[in-house]
Structure 1
Amino acid sequence: MASSNDLTPLSDRVEELLSRTGPLPIVAAGDPVLRGAAEPFDGQLDPSLLARFVAALRDTMHAAPGVGLAAPQVGIPLRIAVIEDPAPVPDEIREVRGRVPLPFRVLVNPVYEPVGSARAAFFEGCLSVPGWQAVVARPAEVRLLARDEHGNPVDEVFTGWPARIVQHETDHLDGTLYLDRAELRSLSSNEAMGRWWAQPTPAEAAKGLGFEL
């Protein structure tokens, strides 16, 4: 994969990426492409190439599996992300976390702003930080402004888990990882999560690991 400071046109870099078979390789934390502000999308990819890139992002997100994927996570510094969450969780978790199904969406040049002052804290993970999760307190409700893949305006309010997904993926486009916002004492391996902290809320983890919610 080309480096993040490669001067090759982004369209050529995307074409090269799509020439591979199978899911796209996901960039791991430590790569500079995850730490710079992504370039606003302004037609760098023609409609056909954009559609192919979006399809590849969706396939890669499903294969990972994950509920969101931003273009920088596959090495392309463009303000494009995809999100989708079928929310296959027990009713208790659904109720506490507000994790409801989120249909597939493409976010182009997204920005968000909090709605109100309420915050919610839960464990989050990231495909670019495999094997680990940590508690992140985020606004419980956000207003998203963006475009879809066809250029149509998006102005929508998200709450609960969908709001968390929107924030997480938009943060990627600003060079921010969830760990930058996390309570680091909560950092837990996936194994530890399964053994100790798989409750609907992180209250027990806060007691056991010594952090405040």
Structure 2
Amino acid sequence: MVRQESPGGAVERPRTAVVRDALGVGVAVGLSGFAFGVTAAGAGISVLQACALSLLVFTGASQFALVGALAAGGNPFTAAAGAFFLGTRNAFYGLRLSQLLALPRAVRPLAAHWVIDETTAVALAQPGRRSARLGFTVTGLSLYLLWNLTTLLGALGAEALGDTAAWGLDAAGPAVFLALLAPMLKTATERAVAALALVLGLGLLPVLPAGLPVLVAALAAPAVLWLKGRRS
């Protein structure tokens, strides 16, 4: 099969290969929406509220952080703040993707809702703009539809599972996030930030109220960059 070239001269991947990889990511991650629905129901969140979170927030790590903090008895404002700051990484993804995808202005607001870990990873893995746009679109569409569907099914079926905490489904979201993040930590600085954030987040869990460890862990990036600047 002859590969096409993008306007920038990059060799594009075959469309079928891009669609296959994008659907693989969308389906694999989208199924974890079931775990979110069950976890949300176990935290006392209604089916309507759980579905609204998936429809409007649509960033798994932040959603799991929010319901996890609420389930642990955290203050709603603290839980929301932790989820918000965890989701700010999507803004930085958007800065990179806006240059890569160069989408028309009319569709940018809709595309911004799909700027998450998975769509960014698939888009950045492509050699050219056409492949990146296709990968982003297929991943976003398949993941959005499946995530919301499985959120609904998980929230409705939570009662049939009994004690949701015993299933450990609340670990599904963080596990997916870490699996996507690990291959992207290529430099020593990135690995240092991730390690410090992990130490802060886990180390402060028994000390601080639910939701606050995530906020403190966000200080890892400026701390590492400050130390690097002093050494330079």
When normalised by structure 1's length, the TM-score is 0.31
> Computing the radius of gyration over CA atoms, which structure comes out larger, 1 or 2?
2
Q: Greater relative contact order: 1 or 2 (C-alpha under 8 angstroms, separation 6 or more)?
A: 2
